[in-house]
């Protein structure tokens, strides 16, 4: 049974708020790309992977079974994310929620833009979208599942380059955090131990971070 559109849309927005970065270099694209490839291989089907920074493809992987057909899907998904600065899956649910048509209401030809699963904005927290991570090869929502699995694996392996809080952190922590993963981890630890209330978190966290820095 399919989830209600509004619930799915909220999840898409939450994913975009969670998976943001403190910085994102070509080396980071290499690492994220391999995380996406691993996630795609676990889906048991050939999926093409691309990562773009500032409109330049910096990572590309086309396994056996993929080719020009997938390249066109990736191009159309990237175009949509670059234009709207939101995931292609979110755009799909926004169209569904408003009973709108991509071409008639958004004036975006399907030959150049694809509102479907599989492309995600690379956003610097507190800044703008600088690129796109995209996969193609499975029917909806397969591409999105592979994409999110890859993002999750990357963030778990690179906690200090990702701006997301650690797993299990309160939602308000993500929303109010300045964007430092280490700081988020410290806050979660203090809250879990019952030493802080929400209003005290920022000051206590900064003090503890200072102490940690001096100990290094």
Question: Collapsing DSSP states into helix, strand and coil, what is residue 136?
Answer: strand
Q: Where are the chain's structural domains?
A: 5-157, 171-215
Q: Give the three-state DSSP class for 37.
A: helix
- Cα of 126 vs its chain's centroid, Å: 15
Q: What is the pLDDT of residue 173?
A: 44
173-195 residue pLDDT tens: 444 444 444 455 555 555 555 55
Report how far residue 75's alpha carbon sits from residue 159's, in angstroms, rounded to the nearest whole number.
29
Phi and psi for 119 in degrees, rounded to 5?
Answer: -135, 135
Tell me how far apart the alpha carbons of residues 122 and 196 are, in angstroms, rounded to a whole number: 33
CA atoms of 203 and 168, how far apart (whole Å): 21
Q: What's the rounded Cα separation, in Å, for the pair 156 and 211?
A: 24
CA-to-CA distance for 150 and 157, rounded, in angstroms? 11
Q: Return the pLDDT at 190.
A: 52
Residue 141: cis peptide before it, omega within 30 degrees of 0: yes
Residues 144 and 165 sit within 8 Å (Cβ to Cβ): no
The whole-number mean pLDDT for each consecutive block of 10 residues of the chain, a chain of 216 residues, reads: 83 93 94 97 95 97 96 98 97 96 97 97 93 96 95 87 53 44 51 54 48 46
Strand partners, 121: 132
What is 5-157's CATH superfamily? Haem-degrading domain (3.30.450.150)
Residue-wise burial string across 135-151, b where 16 or more C-beta atoms lie within 10 A, e elsewhere: bbbbeebbbbbbbbbbb
The reported pLDDT for the residue numbered 162 is 63
93-118 pLDDT, tens digit per residue, is 999 999 999 999 999 999 999 999 99
Chain centroid to CA 34? 15
């Amino acid at each position: 049974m399919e989830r209600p559109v509004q619930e799915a849309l909220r999840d898409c927005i939450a994913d975009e708020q969670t998976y943001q970065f403190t910085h994102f270099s070509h080396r980071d694209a290499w690492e994220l790309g391999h995380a996406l490839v691993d996630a795609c291989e676990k889906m048991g089907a050939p999926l093409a992977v691309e990562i773009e920074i500032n409109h330049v493809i910096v990572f590309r992987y086309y396994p056996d079974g993929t080719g020009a057909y997938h390249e066109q899907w990736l191009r159309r998904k990237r175009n949509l994310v670059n234009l709207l600065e939101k995931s292609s899956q979110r755009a799909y649910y926004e169209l569904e929620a408003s009973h709108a048509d991509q071409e008639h209401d958004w004036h975006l030809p399907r030959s150049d833009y694809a509102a479907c699963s599989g492309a995600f904005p690379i956003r610097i927290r507190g800044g703008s979208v600088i690129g796109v991570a995209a996969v193609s090869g499975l029917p909806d929502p397969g591409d999105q599942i592979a994409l999110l699995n890859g993002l999750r694996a990357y963030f778990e392996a690179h906690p200090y380059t990702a701006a997301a809080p650690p797993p299990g952190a309160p939602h308000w922590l993500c929303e109010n955090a300045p964007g430092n993963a280490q700081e988020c981890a410290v806050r979660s630890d203090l809250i879990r131990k019952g030493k802080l209330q929400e209003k005290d978190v920022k000051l206590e966290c900064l003090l503890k971070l200072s102490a940690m820095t001096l100990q290094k």
